[in-house]
Amino acid sequence: MKTNSKKLFAGGLGQLTIPLIAIALLVIFNLIRDPSFFSINLSQNNDGNIVLAGNLISIINGASELAILAMGMTLVTAACGGQDISVGAAAAIAGDVFIKVIKAGSVINAGIVILAFLSACLVAMIFGAFNGILVAVFRIQPMIATLILYTCGRSIAYWINGGATPNVKSSILSGIGSFIPGIPIPTPVLIVALMAIIFKLLFRFTSLELLTQSVGINESAAKLNGINTTFIKILSFVILGVCVCVAGIIGTSRLGLINHETLLLDVEMDAILAVAIGGNSLGGGKFKISGSIIGAYVIQMLTTTLYAMKVSSTDVKAYKAIVIILLVVIGSPVVKKKFDKLVRQRISLKKNDSKGAAQA
Amino acid sequence: MQTDPLLQMRHIVKIFPGVLALNGVDFTLRKGEIHALMGENGAGKSTLIKVLTGVYSSDGGEIKVDGQVISIKSPQDAQNHGISTVYQEITLCPNLTVAENMFIGREDSVWIKRKDYEKKADEILSNLGIPARSTQELGNCSLAVQQMVAIARAVDMKCKVLILDEPTSSLDDKEVNMLFDLMRDLKSKGVGIIFVTHFLEQVYEVSDRITVLRNGELVGEYTVEELPQVELVSKMIGKELGELSSMGEHEEAEENKKEVFYEAEGLSSSDALPFDFKIRKGEVNGFTGLLGSGRSESVRAIFGADKVTGGNVKINGKKVSITKPIEAMRNGIGYLAEDRKRDGIIADLSVRENIILALQVMNGILRPISRSEAESYADEYIKMLNIKTASRETPVGSLSGGNQQKVILARWLLTHPEYLILDEPTRGIDVGTKLEIQKLVLKLAEDGVSVTFISSEIEEMLRTCSRLVVMRDRHIVGELKGKDLNQTKVMQTIAGGESENEDKQ
């Protein structure tokens, strides 16, 4: 344990150190408060499946949409040095398209669900490209550019199903939103894992990571090295579009209905926060998707902990803010630098000590 | 010994992770002295300056000002002890007036009325003979005057020690002379000046003493008289200088037989007027002219870096269209940009990532260079170009200027270009690396690569290029080769002498 912590600090604070410490502290805090907080048990749910249940499961499950959005948000942040605040509204549009296509068929089968998913994806990608073009071609600040869709997105979602909030009863949808019979792990958790693997493969089999970071760090140099910076930026928004669609469909499938007003409401700020807690610079450049995913779980665990402590839902936001201030300040370059210096001094002191001992 | 030491630095040690940047360096500055601090990049000049100005804290040694041991923990501390710095890049605000720039951010200025400090500024300016008015917007002054305003600001803050870090790198000759007059004036007023520069001639023009550093260690302190220029250079790079003179034997007759690689007719861009240009395989040519003469704009047009607005381009005799950098790259052209920080390095990325960048872009997004391949490329070029870096994973921004430039050179060499454009590759880097780059250029040409080499130092271009395109006011005004390649002829052409009609043979 001790050698581990030394390794963790020896190279200075790594990008993932702070989010990991935050998770560890939250876990320890909860264990002290309630030793059985993280107990997991098997139980039978309403559909008669044997499934895993417990606080830990509901935290990981509940953070799914956020984690997926944070992955895409990381890429946009890295390439454009700005954030997309329209993800919640765009997810509502994707959800409405999804339900609209499913409702159009007479029967609900796997084929029509896949078709609905692809249609929703296409629509979300088009809206992503719209944001991307505003940012990359017209050079509008990302937050302002995406403010447009943020403002009108839920109205567009409203028009798609004519203002109704249609519900769909289907085992396929509950399979997406909760459990697939025979598998005790919530499906959204599996989807997060799948998305993470897809990103991993994307960075493994394309040079997207290097190109995106180059554009984010020094756009002018990137251009002179032949990188199509416009394309990279639009692409980042289109990829975020896919994430938005997946998150929207998970959210819709959980309830089996689409409510354009409440689906993933206010999720955009949490997604941006997850990116920041993950140690990524909101000014763009170098990034780690894994950091943002951990950031998403930190946020969800914090929320769940507060609810478990019977903090009223109106107060939760204020408590959340306090913890977030701490995390962000500790992760700030100023504090990091001070800390690095302290650690280095300690190490060199220790080295001198051991040298002295050897000589004696 | 006749004057008291104003500043004494003794056995200064500075350790960076894995590097001993300063190893017991001594430095002494006397009152009313201009003291040149010389050394290659990575020799420890900037580190020593940063220790003195409180940007870095030292790991050993002591600093005395006027015989008193002081500790400098921050730039503010340094300022309080009368140590001021004027950096290479102007750090003032161009959109404020000269007076505002001189008094901004100084505690005593909060309640001073505008009129008062304008008057005070005018006094200081006229005192120092700086040709600027206090009410003028700083951005409207020439770079030299901006530099001088920065100095005036430092001087007025009662500085005893003035550090000038590469103050002349963006000035022309006349402006340099103005700056030197100011330096001599300050010297006569008892200010000790530490002068950091890469221009050797300038050292001999104004300095009294020279301290040479190499690899973080003190080589020695000399008076200007006892250290001729050639010896200074050999002290800096630590070896004798036979190779300097033997470089650049031009074989003109042979060159005309080689095939033309690149040919442009009436090429123009948003920033460059139409011009004709061609380069043969294995030829080294240069573009010369004063700053703003259009030499960089012309080569940028060749690379498609700015919006190309017209012209015909042929490569190996075949017509091609080059309107974007990627098209130039696919046609075998590489371009090392003039401004290394702004257009060259991706500072936060590692040396490895910076080296493979251009090749990766040419490969396209779907064909990534594998980690192991990238590592072996990086290792190969770090070794070949002798890049000094802690490891291939070090962020390139933390390397010294000369080594950053080598990383960018490596980036382009890795694409195996047939035509390499180097825009000021040696600006702001040390003598040793300069020589290495010049040698590399000649070697590339031997291997059949065409090279366009741009440098503000005409001497350097004469050594490497076999043909010089001379530009003035955004037009090509002459082309020199063979026996015409000498300093006088180049100067005449730049200044607009009889050679005006040579380009229209």
In chain B, residues with a C-beta closer than 8 Å to the C-beta of A222 are: 346
Q: Chain B contacts of A217, Cβ < 8 Å?
A: 346-349
How far does the CA of residue B6 sit from the closest CA of chain A (Å)? Answer: 32
Helix axes A187-205, A229-255, angle to 10 degrees: 170
Residue bearing tokens 């009294």: B208
Q: Whole-angstrom Cα distance, residue A88 to residue A191?
A: 18
Cβ neighbours for B292, distance < 8 A, ≥ 6 positions apart: none
The CATH number of the domain holding residue A115 is 1.10.3470
Once rounded to an integer, what is the mean pLDDT over residues B32-58? 87
Whether residues B354 and B219 share a domain: the answer is no
Give how many domains chain B has, as a whole number.
2
> Same domain for B192 and B336?
no
Q: Find the CB nearest B325 among A204, A205, A223.
A: A223
- A6 in any annotated domain: no
Domain that holds residue A268: 58-320
pLDDT tens figures, B104-139? 766 555 566 778 888 888 888 888 788 888 888 888
Give the pair of three-digit tokens for residue A12: 């200075």
Residue B485 belongs to domain spanning: 282-305+322-504
CA distance B57 to chain A (A): 11
DSSP per-residue string spanning B247-292: S----HHHHTTSPEEEEEEEEEESSS--EEEEEETT-EEEEE-STT
Which residues 177-206 of A have a C-beta within 8 angstroms of B? 204-206
Q: Kindly state whether residues B27 and B136 are assigned to the same domain.
A: yes
Q: What is the pLDDT of residue B300?
A: 94
Are residues B106 and B230 part of one domain?
Answer: yes
Q: Is residue B269 part of a domain?
A: no
In a domain, B316, yes or no: no
Whether A283 maps to a domain, the answer reads yes
Q: Averaged over B342-357, what is the pLDDT?
A: 94
Alpha carbon A60 to its chain's center: 12
pLDDT at A326: 84
Per-residue pLDDT at A214: 96
Do A197 and A36 touch, CB atoms closer than 8 A?
Answer: no
Instruction: Count the Cβ atoms, other than its own, within 10 Å of residue B64.
Output: 15
DSSP B198: S
Asked if the Cβ–Cβ distance from A205 to B366 is below 8 Å, we say yes
Q: Is A333 on the interface with B (CB under 8 A)?
A: no
Give the number of residues written for chain B: 505
pLDDT of residue B252 exceeding 80, the answer is: no
- How many contiguous H segments (helices) and E segments (strands) does chain B have? 18, 20
**If we measure between CA atoms, which residue out of A230, A330, A219 comes closest to residue A285?**
A219
**In this structure, is residue B249 part of a structural domain?**
no
User: Which of the residue ranges A68-72, A354-358, B190-194, B493-497 would you say has the lowest mean pLDDT?
Assistant: A354-358
Q: Looking at the partner chain, which of A204, A206, A223 has a beta carbon nearest the beta carbon of B365?
A: A206
Tell me which residues of chain B have a C-beta less than 8 Å from any C-beta of chain A: 17, 303, 305, 324-326, 328-329, 335, 337, 342-349, 353, 356-358, 360-369, 411
Is the pLDDT assigned to residue B88 strictly greater than 80? no
Instruction: Chain B: give the shortest CA distance to residue A136, in Å.
Output: 17
- A339 within some domain: no
Nearest-CA residue of chain B relative to A205? B368
- Which tokens in the block code for residue A226? 């032949």
pLDDT given for residue A334 in this prediction: 82
Residue of B335, B360, B369 lying closest to A224 (CB–CB) = B335
Number of domains observed in the structure of chain A: 1
pLDDT value at residue A62: 94
Residue B314 in domain: no
Residue A76 lies in a domain: yes
> Would you call A57 an interface residue with chain B, using a CB distance cutoff of 8 Å?
no
pLDDT of residue A357: 52
- For the ranges A138-142, A322-326, B269-273, B398-402, the one whose mean pLDDT is highest: A138-142
Give the burial string for B262-278 (b: 16+ CB within 10 Å, else e). Answer: bbbeebbbebbbebebe
Lowest model confidence (mean pLDDT) among A181-185, A295-299, B85-89, B162-166: B85-89
Euclidean distance between the first and the last CA atom of chain B, given in angstroms as a whole number: 63
Query: Does residue B396 fall inside a structural domain?
Result: yes
Please compute the mean of the pLDDT values over residues B51-59 and round it to a whole number: 88
Q: Measured between CB atoms, does A344 come within 8 Å of chain B?
A: yes
Tell me, yes or no, whether B251 lies in a domain: no
Decide if A243 is inside a domain.
Answer: yes
Distance CA B240, CA B246 (A): 13
* Last residue within a domain, chosen from B244, B270, B292: B244
Query: How far, CA to CA in Å, does A17 sit from each of A12, A43, A116, A339, B485?
Result: 10, 35, 40, 12, 61
Does the complex come out with an ipTM higher than 0.90? no
CB spacing of A210 vs B349 below 8 angstroms: yes
Domain match, B17 and B91 both: yes
Measured in residues, chain A has a length of 360
pLDDT at B288: 86
| Any domain includes B366 | yes
The rounded distance, in Å, linking the Cα atoms of B103 and A270 is 44
Asked if residue A8 belongs to a domain, the reply is: no
Amino acid sitting at position B313:
V
CB distance A218–B342 less than 8 Å? yes
Percent of chain B topping pLDDT 90? 41
Is there a domain that residue A246 lies in?
yes
In a domain, B423, yes or no: yes
As a whole number, the mean pLDDT across chain B is 85
Question: Is B235 found in the same domain as B294?
Answer: no
Query: Among A211, A221, A228, whose Cβ lies nearest the Cβ of B345?
Result: A221
Cβ within 8 Å, pair A210-B353: yes
Angle (deg, nearest 10), helices A267-277 and A64-80: 70
Domain final residue, candidates B244, B269, B295: B244
In terms of domains, do B356 and B468 share one? yes
Does B255 score more than 60 pLDDT? no
Closest listed residue to residue B343, CA positions, set A218, A210, A228, A286: A218
Beta pairing partners, B36: B195, B210
Partner-chain contact A344 B17, CB within 8 Å: yes
Q: How far apart are CA B58 and CA B55, in angstroms?
A: 10
Token output for B358: 């251009």
Beta carbons of B297 and B277 less than 8 angstroms apart: no
- Side-chain half-sphere exposure of A96, counting CA atoms within 13 A: 26
For B144-157, the pLDDT digits (tens) are: 788 888 888 887 77
> Does a structural domain hold residue A360?
no
pTM: 0.76
Residue B75, number of CB atoms within 10 A of its CB: 15
Q: Where are the beta strands (DSSP E) in B172-230?
A: 192-196, 209-214, 217-223
Q: Which of B398, B56, B70, B82 is nearest to B48 (CA)?
A: B56
Residue in B329, B346, B356 nearest the CB of A221: B346
pLDDT of the residue at B405: 92
User: What pLDDT is attached to residue B110?
Assistant: 58
Q: DSSP 3-state assignment of B238?
A: coil
Shared domain check, B161 and B21: yes
Per-residue pLDDT of chain A (360 residues; tens, 9 = 90+): 344 444 444 444 578 888 898 899 999 999 998 888 888 888 888 777 888 888 899 999 999 999 999 999 999 999 999 999 999 999 999 999 999 999 998 888 999 999 999 999 999 999 999 999 999 999 999 999 999 999 999 999 999 988 888 888 888 999 999 999 889 999 999 999 999 999 999 999 999 999 999 999 999 999 999 999 999 999 999 999 999 999 999 999 999 999 999 999 999 999 999 999 998 988 899 999 999 999 999 999 999 999 888 888 888 888 888 887 888 888 777 887 788 778 777 776 666 665 555 554
CATH number for B475: 3.40.50.300
What is the band of B207 on the pLDDT scale with cuts at 50, 70, 90? very high
Judgement on whether residues B230 and B361 belong to the same structural domain of the protein? no
Mean pLDDT over B443-467 rounds to 88
Q: Give the per-residue pLDDT at B146.
A: 84
Distance from C-alpha of B417 to C-alpha of B431, rounded to nearest angstrom: 26
Q: What is the pLDDT of residue B291?
A: 65
Name which of A201, A209, A224, A231 to mutate to probe chain B: the one with the most chain B Cβ atoms within 10 A of its Cβ: A224
Q: Which residues, including other chains, have CB under 8 Å from residue B456's CB and lie 6 or more apart?
A: B291, B424, B427
Are B286 and B240 contained in the same domain? no
Candidates A206, A226, A265, A190; CA nearest to A75 is A206
How confident is residue B305, by pLDDT bands cut at 50, 70 and 90?
very high
Among A9, A203, A210, the strongest candidate for a mutation testing the B interface, having the largest count of B CBs within 10 A, is A210
Q: Which residues of B touch A238 (CB under 8 A)?
A: none
Is the predicted pLDDT of residue B500 greater than 60, yes or no?
no
